[in-house]
Every structure is written in structure tokens, then in C-alpha cells.
Amino acid sequence: MRAVLLLLGLLVVPVVAPAASEAGGATGIPWWGIFKQAVNFGILVAVLVYFLRKPVGAYLKERSEMLRKSIDEAARARASAAEKLLAIEIRMAKLSQEIAEMRQQMDAEAAEETRRIKEMAQAEVERLHAQVQFAAEQEVKNARLELRKEAAELSARAAEEIVSKTLTKGDQERMVRENIDRIREIVR
């Protein structure tokens, strides 16, 4: 109600000033003209209120409902965003921990792989050493056999030369007879 009276007062002030100037310099206020205008204005306001109350009320109610829904949705969106932010912050905190754990795991795996490679290399060195040792022993064995064979051949040649130089034909015949006699005795 106060708002209506204040509005009427504000509307009356611009009307009073031109009315005073139309009076031809008369200093009186035309109360009757102001009253007619105020009544006309009141009727206009009453008609507007009568016809526009329901549509404006419905519009304002709909608008306030829409604003309330928007505020509720904004509150839900804000809560959802806060939850998502919290989840992201938790995940970020866990991410640094996960990264640290992954680094530790990778370091452990690298150490294990290094140890395994060293063991494999050591086993390979030992296998190659044994293989070389075996090959060297075989070579020495073969060389000894070869030396024995050569020594036997050289001894046989030397003995043959000595025998051929020292034995006469008679000695050879005698040795052949003795060997034949021995063979006969063995066979009997």
C-alpha cells in the first residue's frame, strides 16, 4: 500500500508543476484537476490490477518456481561438482602414491632382472669355462696319443734300423725258428 501511495505522489509532482504554469501566473494549486487525475489514475491502476493480477501473479509464481528450480539445480550441480572435485583430489593424492609404488615396483623388477642377468652371465661363463676346459683336455689327450703314436713309430723305425744293422741272416733265421717253436708249444 505504501508503494502505491509513493507512486501516486511521484506521479502528482510532475502534474502540479505544469498546472501551476497554465494558471496564468496564479499561485493557487488546482486541486480539482489533481483530484480528477488521481481518480483517473486510481481507476487505471484498479483496472490493471483486476485484469493483470492473475496473469502477472501466475507469471511471477512461475518465475519464482523456475528460479527456485534453477537455484536447486545449481545447488545440486555445485554439490556434484564438489563431490567430483573431492574425488579428483583424492585420486590425485593417490596418484602420487601410485606413482611412487610403481617406481618402487619398477626398481625392484629392474634389480631382480639385473640379478637374473648376472646369474645367467655367470652360468654362461662357467659353462664356457667348462667347455673350454673339456676341449683343452681333449686336445691334450689327442696330442698325447699322437705323440705316443709318433714315438712308437720312431721307436719301431729306430729298432728296425738297429736290428737291420746288427742282425745277420743267420740271426734272423734262428729267431724265426725260435718263434715258430714257441707258437707250436702254445698251440699244443
Q: What's the 3-state SS for the chain?
A: CHHHHHHHHHHHHHHHHHHHHHCCCCCCCCHHHHHHHHHHHHHHHHHHHHHHHHHHHHHHHHHHHHHHHHHHHHHHHHHHHHHHHHHHHHHHHHHHHHHHHHHHHHHHHHHHHHHHHHHHHHHHHHHHHHHHHHHHHHHHHHHHHHHHHHHHHHHHHHHHHHHHHHCCHHHHHHHHHHHHHHHHHHHC
Pick the range with the lowest mean pLDDT from 2-11, 32-41, 53-62, 178-187. Answer: 2-11
**3 has pLDDT over 80:** no
Domains of the chain, residue spans:
134-187
Grid coordinates given for 10 = 511521484
Instruction: Give the tens place of pLDDT for each residue, 93-152.
Output: 888 888 888 999 999 999 999 999 999 999 999 999 999 999 999 999 998 998 888 888
Give the separation between CA 87 and CA 90, rounded to whole angstroms.
5
Rounded average pLDDT over 164-174:
79
- pLDDT for 104 equals 93
